[in-house]
């Protein structure tokens, strides 16, 4: 590896160690008061925005296994943020419905996330925020292609 590339790699490692690995923590902080992970919040958001959502709908949309979503939903059910309602025509089919507590939690977390995001836009500006998003999307696409 050339010296210039090594310096670039070292800079990437430094940025990762000092910033990027904390990004998930920074993003998930607004949901902590409600004892939810960011992933659980996103599932709750999906359910509050749509009707007749099933576990399989969420798993398909996220391209993950049913059991991965089931673990997340179990937490939401246990904490009283969701309830299950059987389909009237097929009692085996369970719809996920946000409780009043779930709707409130989703609303408060969404407001906090919006404030955080607006803070980023205020610091970086709209154009740079779009550039960062475009880079992350490109990186994600290239990473998926290499698998």
CATH number reported for the structural domain that contains residue 43 in this entry:
1.10.10.10
Q: Which helix (H) or strand (E) holds 97?
A: strand 94-98
Please say if the pLDDT value at position 10 is more than 80: yes
10 occurs within a structural domain: no
Domains identified in the chain, total number: 1
Best CA proximity match to 43, nearest among 32, 56, 33:
56
pTM of the model: 0.81
52 occurs within a structural domain: yes
Burial class (CB in 10 A: 0-12, 13-18, 19+), 73: buried
Range of the domain at 48: 17-146
38 occurs within a structural domain: yes
Please say if the pLDDT value at position 92 is more than 90: no
Model confidence at 31, pLDDT cuts 50, 70, 90, reads: very high
Query: Which residues on adjacent β-strands are paired with residue 98?
Result: 82
9 occurs within a structural domain: no
Q: Which helix (H) or strand (E) holds 82?
A: strand 82-86
Residue 147: the pLDDT is 59
Please say if the pLDDT value at position 143 is more than 80: no
8 occurs within a structural domain: no
40 occurs within a structural domain: yes
């Amino acid at each position: 590896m050339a010296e210039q590339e090594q310096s670039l790699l070292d800079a990437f490692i430094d940025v990762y160690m000092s910033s990027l690995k904390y990004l998930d923590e920074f993003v998930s902080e607004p949901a902590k008061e409600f004892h939810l992970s960011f992933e659980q919040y996103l599932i709750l958001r999906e359910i509050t925005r749509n009707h007749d959502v099933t576990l399989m709908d969420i798993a398909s949309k996220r391209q993950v296994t049913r059991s991965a979503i089931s673990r997340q939903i179990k937490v939401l059910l246990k904490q009283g943020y969701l309830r299950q309602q059987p389909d009237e025509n097929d009692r085996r089919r369970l719809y996920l419905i946000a409780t009043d507590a779930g709707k409130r939690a989703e609303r408060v977390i969404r407001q906090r996330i919006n404030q955080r995001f607006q803070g980023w836009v205020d610091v970086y500006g709209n154009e740079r925020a779009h550039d960062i998003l475009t880079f992350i999307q490109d990186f994600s696409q290239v990473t998926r292609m290499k698998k």
